[in-house]
Structure 1
Amino acid sequence: MVTSNMNQLPNSSYALEFSHPEEQSMAAPWLWLSIMSLATAGVFSVLLVMARTPYLGELIPYVDFFHTALVIHVNMSVLVWNLSFACLLWSLIARPSFLLLNKAIFGLICCAAILIAIAGFLPHANPVISNYIPVLDNPVFLIGLTVFAIGIGMQVLMSLATTPSVGSGLLPDGVIRLGLSCAAISLLVALLVFLSTWLLLSKELVTHSYYEALFWGGGHILQYTYTLVMMVCWLWLGAAARIQMVMSERIISVIFLAGLLPIFVTPLIFYNYEVIDPRHRQMFIWQMSFGGSLATFPLGLAVFYGLVKRITESDRQRAAHSALMTSLILFGCGGAIGFMITGNDVTVPAHYHGSIVGVTLALMGVAYDVLPKMGFTKINFKWANIQLWGYAAGQFMHILGLVWSGGYGVQRKVAGAAQGLDSIERVAGMGLMGMGGLISSLGGLLFVIIVIRALLNRGEAKHQHPGPSESSEREP
């Protein structure tokens, strides 16, 4: 049994509670959208892994299918999943108001996500593998992407307009509001960068160059949004795992502001360089290189210190602990691999796979913890713990295989014979990548099953402060 002093740790309220019925009415739909986007991405991830795995890739006759599937997979597993889940968190910190407008925005974003997904099954998909946001150069996909951006922008503006002030006391819930507000501001800046670039770009550029330039600057800013949301989730999971934070709320608030600060260099980049100038591109690389770890490194160290000193006492705490530990490991690996990039080989996707999977694991952990707060108490935390470690292990194998293959010059964004797997070292590296990808796909599928099963079976009571023997934990 958890002792009373453990329930009163200073960081316990970093995990937000549902104080209004309206919060539950919007949080559950956002979670459904997040899960369905991840499920859609999972289907395409299996096909992608097959396309790049030696011998299996030969079973898929169309290389262009690989690129089309890659576009849908990336957009559903990164853009739609991350921002839909962020909308869930933003809905928790905003005052419950304008419920009808909230539902309308949610419906708009759902329609946009459906358009993005079905565009991959239409003829003449015309995939363009641009960095950060790859696209299908056809009207259905582009309309879906535009509507999605408009809907997300409306949701962020509403959240910022209705979020209570942080307050002078800097309590943990105020720090969470500050962190999510920083993420919202960074997303607004990213949308403004996309819009500014679109207005400044010449429409006469060739297709790939056009989309590469269009999404380069805003895509970099979008990574700050994902990172800030992940940091909020680290605090949430730390509270769920009952770890003792060694930083005060004031220091954590400064860290969040430091994580937001680098994006305000963006206007200077646009003022000094045209969007097609190579120096414009290089400045965003430097912005990410020097500013990307300003916040994650100190907060990650503090959270990791608390993790290694904490012994969990329940399946629910262990799931939060596992999500936090795997997120820190994968995100750290992704960051470290970034310093190994020297060309355009598969070391590049190894870098961003590690980083973005670190974000995904944090979101998965919060999804598990938020379900009982919403009244969905029939969730198996033992299987959740297995899922998190299985998914993380598969992704670690995946990026290890990519780093290995990148060392032997295997190029990115190609599949089948175009990979040039003409040596045992290259075949072994990409084989390890394929095996890890399949394992992580199974882990992602298990996550979807666990969460959907919980969403379809609402418990009788809502558990706000469960202990180590929660009734919400089920045996397999």
Structure 2
Amino acid sequence: METNPLSLRPPTSALRWFALAIVALAGAGMLASVLVLTRVPGVASALDLDPALATRSLVVHVNLATGVWFFAVLAGLACLAETFGPSGEGPVTVAVIGVVVFLAAAVSPAAAVLSDYVPVLDHPAFFVGLATFAAGVAFDVVRPRAFTSDRWLPREVRYGVRAAGYVFVIAMATTAAAYLCRDPTATPAARYQHLFWGGGHVLQFAATAAMVATWLFLFRNAVGVPALASTITAIVFALLVAPAMLGPILVLTRQSPAAFTSLMEVGIFPAVVLVVVAGASTARRHGRPSDLHWPVQPIAERGLIVGVGMTLLGFALGAAIRGDTTLTPAHYHISIGAVTVSFMTTLLVLLPRFGAPLSHPRLAMWQPVLYGGGQTVFALGLAIAGFWGSSGRKLYDASQHVMASAERIGWIVAGLGGLLAFAGGIAFIALVVGSTRRLMTT
């Protein structure tokens, strides 16, 4: 049975969602090390790494890092936002089964198809697993709630979590609409690109709404007051939900794929800028409080600054994209890195409230900087290579042509940044494992 939100222990379903998210992040991190090695000139050939291994690793890495990690955290926050009645652990069990099924497909000889947003393995088990995981998440983020309390998340954060949950379901509906409009004669590459193009764009709205919700949570813990007035909070999340609602319509009316790109440009940027400007104004008025809990306050402050900074840099890199160069993955990686560091910091801030004091508080204060800094260096390395025309954003060492010295420098910088981010990820996992020993034994 779920715990009443007024008790000291968080809902079991939330803890299980967060555990699934952290395991997925750890798996994605291990696969990322393979990808980093294949991106550094000469390393893959020296280690005799099979390019096909990198491609398959990429498929699983992306689905773990931007699918399971992102939306398992969202589902966990939904369980904290408004606690359910009895029998609330079924959805997370369904999601775990889905992850196991799609990982089982990874050991099959199925071909990897690098469709945008959701790369896939062309095997039925892979799609059954993804759909099962999505069903578990969808059930927990939209089903009716029994209680509402500020015990774990303040009201403005709950608004954001609910908005992100609605957009997640809209993304699933957009993908279903694309399936109904599929071309049975298309090649696998064209078929899966069509299937996930629209839904993948809508998922960016869901991830952004969830990230903004965690920013509001971190701001409250860093400054001690809400970042936004209630009216502005409503406007921000309306700006993120309203455009996403057009997703299924754009697919069913067979609009150009560029329509989704335009939708994301006009929907995400204004909402994020409004949050940043309004939050900065609030912080300037109230200043830094001296009576908030240590080390939660500096952890929240640093994680918030890193997440916001990475997001704004991601916007700048996105605006600089011209053609098919590595500027595209530079923009993509720093953007998803911003979501990840915001989620990591939120979980670090929540751990003491869950009865799990941070095992190494000073490491926790620097972990967002280490991970976020590494991801930023990685993205800037890709940007350097992209500015010099380096292409192959979906290719790996054997197919990668590094011509100019500046391109080579860019790839080396990216490799170093990837290693720093990997170290930041290890630090996060170590902090969670070390801090939850007490929680697991109670």
Same fold (TM over 0.5): yes
Aligned counterparts of 2:400 and 2:92: Cα–Cα separation in 1: 41
**C-alpha deviations, 1:212-252, integer Å up to 9, x for none?**
11000011111111011111101110111125556322222
219-228 vs 133-142, which moves further: 133-142
After TM superposition, give the deviation of residue 341 of structure 1 in Å.
1.2
2:313 corresponding residue in structure 1? 333
Whether 1:108 aligns to 2:94 is: yes
Q: 1:44 aligns with which of 31, 39, 51?
A: 31
**C-alpha deviations, 1:441-472, integer Å up to 9, x for none?**
111111011111112233999xxxxxxxxxxx
Q: Are residues 422 and 311 of structure 1, via their aligned partners in 2, closer, same or farther at CA, if it must alter by over 3 Å? A: farther
2:347 corresponding residue in structure 1? 367
Q: 1:286 aligns with which of 239, 262, 265?
A: 262
Q: Is the 8 A contact 2:142 2:162 kept in 1?
A: no
Q: 1:149 aligns with which of 130, 134, 153?
A: 134
288-297 vs 69-78, which moves further: 288-297
1:415 corresponding residue in structure 2? 396
Whether 1:181 aligns to 2:167 is: no
After TM superposition, give the deviation of residue 42 of structure 1 in Å.
0.6
Q: Is the 8 A contact 1:241 1:321 kept in 2?
A: yes
Whether 1:256 aligns to 2:237 is: yes
3-state SS of paired residue (1:162): coil
Aligned counterparts of 1:458 and 1:353: Cα–Cα separation in 2: 33
Whether 1:76 aligns to 2:61 is: no
Aligned counterparts of 1:141 and 1:460: Cα–Cα separation in 2: 35
102-111 vs 204-213, which moves further: 102-111
Q: Is the 8 A contact 2:223 2:283 kept in 1?
A: no
2:74 corresponding residue in structure 1? 86
Q: Are residues 83 and 267 of structure 1, via their aligned partners in 2, closer, same or farther at CA, if it must alter by over 3 Å? A: closer
Which amino acid is the alignment partner of residue 258 of structure 1?
L
Q: Is the 8 A contact 1:105 1:155 kept in 2?
A: yes
After TM superposition, give the deviation of residue 203 of structure 1 in Å.
2.4
1:140 corresponding residue in structure 2? 125
After TM superposition, give the deviation of residue 334 of structure 1 in Å.
0.9
Aligned counterparts of 1:243 and 1:224: Cα–Cα separation in 2: 27
**C-alpha deviations, 1:79-118, integer Å up to 9, x for none?**
1001000011100123421x32x32221111121223334
**C-alpha deviations, 1:165-195, integer Å up to 9, x for none?**
89xxxxx933333222211111111111111
Which amino acid is the alignment partner of residue 191 of structure 1?
M
Q: Equivalent pairs: percent with the same residue?
A: 27
Whether 1:208 aligns to 2:208 is: no
Q: 2:174 aligns with which of 193, 205, 212?
A: 193
3-state SS of paired residue (2:84): coil
- Segments of 5+ residues of structure 1 without an aligned counterpart are 1-16, 167-171, 274-278, 462-476
Aligned counterparts of 1:398 and 1:326: Cα–Cα separation in 2: 15
3-state SS of paired residue (1:176): helix
Q: Is the 8 A contact 2:163 2:241 kept in 1?
A: yes
Following superposition of structure 1 onto structure 2, how do residues 117-128 of structure 1 map, counting pairs within 5 Å? 117-120=103-106, 122-128=107-113
**C-alpha deviations, 1:320-348, integer Å up to 9, x for none?**
11110000011111111111111121111
2:145 corresponding residue in structure 1? 162
After TM superposition, give the deviation of residue 145 of structure 1 in Å.
1.0
After TM superposition, give the deviation of residue 20 of structure 1 in Å.
4.2
**C-alpha deviations, 1:346-370, integer Å up to 9, x for none?**
1111111111111111111110111
3-state SS of paired residue (1:343): coil
144-153 vs 223-232, which moves further: 144-153
143-152 vs 431-440, which moves further: 143-152
Instruction: Provide the alpha-carbon RMSD of the alignment.
Output: 2.2
3-state SS of paired residue (2:154): helix
Q: Are residues 22 and 240 of structure 1, via their aligned partners in 2, closer, same or farther at CA, if it must alter by over 3 Å? A: closer
- Segments of 5+ residues of structure 2 without an aligned counterpart are none
Q: So what's the TM-score if we normalise by structure 1? A: 0.85
Following superposition of structure 1 onto structure 2, how do residues 279-358 of structure 1 map, counting pairs within 5 Å? 279-306=255-282, 309-310=287-288, 314-358=294-338
Which amino acid is the alignment partner of residue 427 of structure 2?
L
3-state SS of paired residue (2:49): coil
**C-alpha deviations, 1:364-385, integer Å up to 9, x for none?**
1110111111111243221012
Following superposition of structure 1 onto structure 2, how do residues 428-447 of structure 1 map, counting pairs within 5 Å? 428-447=409-428
1:276 corresponding residue in structure 2? none
Aligned counterparts of 2:308 and 2:137: Cα–Cα separation in 1: 27
Q: Is the 8 A contact 1:93 1:164 kept in 2?
A: no
Aligned length: 430
2:210 corresponding residue in structure 1? 229
Aligned counterparts of 1:385 and 1:119: Cα–Cα separation in 2: 38
3-state SS of paired residue (2:402): coil
Aligned counterparts of 1:254 and 1:393: Cα–Cα separation in 2: 31
After TM superposition, give the deviation of residue 56 of structure 1 in Å.
1.1
Aligned counterparts of 2:358 and 2:413: Cα–Cα separation in 1: 36
Which amino acid is the alignment partner of residue 327 of structure 1?
G
Q: Are residues 401 and 49 of structure 1, via their aligned partners in 2, closer, same or farther at CA, if it must alter by over 3 Å? A: same
Q: Is the 8 A contact 1:243 1:307 kept in 2?
A: no
Aligned counterparts of 2:97 and 2:8: Cα–Cα separation in 1: 25
Aligned counterparts of 2:104 and 2:423: Cα–Cα separation in 1: 23
**C-alpha deviations, 1:21-55, integer Å up to 9, x for none?**
67432221111111100000010000100011112
1:393 corresponding residue in structure 2? 373
Which amino acid is the alignment partner of residue 69 of structure 2?
W
Q: Are residues 89 and 210 of structure 1, via their aligned partners in 2, closer, same or farther at CA, if it must alter by over 3 Å? A: same
Q: Are residues 54 and 71 of structure 1, via their aligned partners in 2, closer, same or farther at CA, if it must alter by over 3 Å? A: same
3-state SS of paired residue (2:6): coil
Aligned counterparts of 1:328 and 1:43: Cα–Cα separation in 2: 26
Which amino acid is the alignment partner of residue 128 of structure 1?
V
Q: Is the 8 A contact 2:310 2:335 kept in 1?
A: yes
Aligned counterparts of 2:146 and 2:283: Cα–Cα separation in 1: 31
Q: Is the 8 A contact 1:259 1:294 kept in 2?
A: no
